[in-house]
Amino acid sequence: MSQYNDEDRCATCARGRRLASRVEPQVPDTVWRDEEVQKAIAAWDFGRVSRLVRERARLRQDDMAALTGLSQGFLSMLEAGTRRLTSLDKVARFLRGIETPDALLPPPFREHREVVSHVPLSHRGPSVTDLQVATGERTGNLHELAAQAASQSLRFTEEVTRSNVSDVELEALESKITHIATDYVHAPLHPLFHDLLSTRDRIFSLLSGQQPPAQTRELYLLAGTCCLLLAHASQNLGDQDSAIAQLQTAWTLADHTDHNDLRAWVKGTAALIAEWSTHRFTALEYTQQAIRHAPDGETRIRTAAIKARAAARIGDRNTALTALRELERARDQHTDPDGLTRFGGLLTFPEAKQEYYIGGTYALLGEHELAEHHAAAAIELYATGPAEQRSYGDESLARIDIVTARIAAGEIEGVGEQLHPILELPVNRRIRQIGDAVQGVARLLEDPRFAGNRVVRELADATRGYQAIDTRAKALTS
């Protein structure tokens, strides 16, 4: 034993003897004659019951915890009104634990009556028939009938508020999607694709379980956003069929959560895919569908920008210029903070991206001076803006617009300077659109006007063999 121990036994044994000799907490009979206590029990206000009983019996919260089997922390929140007893099992344990007299117990918990039995419930809560069966035959006593009705209501509450996902996990899932959307514009695609798949699969798994309607709607929104991002990723890999399948899923999930911003983004992305495919005329139809759902602000700016470029790509000058005016008007609108822009990154449409789309529209319309002006503005905004918002894809395509403008004007000077960052781009960042655009530059450099020009020949050789992302890369399936 320790030299500092004055007991006749070791510290552990001494502590055990003290605990064993401690008097168990009890609730005196006088407490149950208190009118306030009786009213609190009759009203099923168990937080007030706990506080009143504890005060009248001169007990501490840890004494009440020992009696009822509930944690001291839970009892503290129960008394403060921030938690409630909704489980009939816990209600019974609480009332029996403090030895509530049978005469004060609500009818379902009295010893001379059958305790409410638990009937198997459906996935989304009990049916009316289940509730009626669970309470047995109703009596003619209105007091007991009211108590039975209260039991049914509490049981229903317990079932419909049961959840397989916590608010903390919901916040973590939203944070994960935010990181992916933010990283998407400047990070390699392959690892992001894996992160997207694992996040989507987790959300799908949660949706197969049960949660309150508000959490279900949020999970549908998060799942739809994941599928929207997967559609973009599939398109960037050059897999149009997979991109369309992801959009179909995202649209269904947008309907389930009744989220117009997600609907507008899905249709806008469908327009992007159509624009870069052989079905260019359908892109305008998708933008018309998108604008019907688009809330004010960035989503309308995005829709107008896609519409302008899609119209220019099929030679519809009037529609393209009208769409650019729509874009300008939308810049003065307020963006809904609860929309997809809260995820950031790819799911925003900042000024730099707007300038890139405007430049691309003018390039397709053959107005190369305006195209170069806006493309240069986009590159400058990306270069001087936050690093996490710098889109290597948009910046590269803006440089292609400047190269196209210079070649169209017969000014080769400066073309190499714009092409160099694109040619040096790592292969895992060369999305399919960049690869197609560089091949288009290679064809322009073969113009007979430049025959015999050594600089043009070297640039043509460098662009001709440009390699984009390989969709069969092992990194994608590892």
pLDDT value of position 134:
44
Question: What share of the chain has pLDDT > 70, as a percent?
Answer: 85
119-124: which pairs have CB atoms within 8 A and are 24 or more residues apart? 121/159, 123/210, 124/160, 124/210
Q: Residue 38 half-sphere exposure, CB side, CA atoms within 13 Å?
A: 10
Question: What share of the chain has pLDDT > 90, as a percent?
Answer: 41
pLDDT value of position 13:
55
In angstroms, the CA 65 to CA 391 distance is 57
Say what the pTM is: 0.65
pLDDT value of position 336:
85
Q: For residue range 198-229, what is the model confidence (pLDDT) as tens digits? A: 999 999 999 988 898 999 999 999 999 999 99
Query: Residue ranges per domain, the chain?
Result: 11-160, 168-476
The total of other beta-carbon atoms located within 10 Å of residue 33's CB is 11
pLDDT value of position 243:
93
Q: Are the CB atoms for 345 and 184 separated by under 8 Å? A: yes
pLDDT value of position 125:
46
Low-confidence ranges of the chain (pLDDT < 70): 1-23, 86, 107-140, 469-478
Q: Are the CB atoms for 312 and 284 separated by under 8 Å? A: no
Residue with tokens 């000058």: 317
Fold of 168-476: 1.25.40
The total of other beta-carbon atoms located within 10 Å of residue 205's CB is 11
Closest CA to 226 of 178, 289, 260: 178
Q: Partners of 122 in the beta sheet? A: 125
Q: Partners of 125 in the beta sheet? A: 122
Angle CA(329)–CA(333)–CA(337) in degrees, nearest 5? 145
pLDDT value of position 108:
62
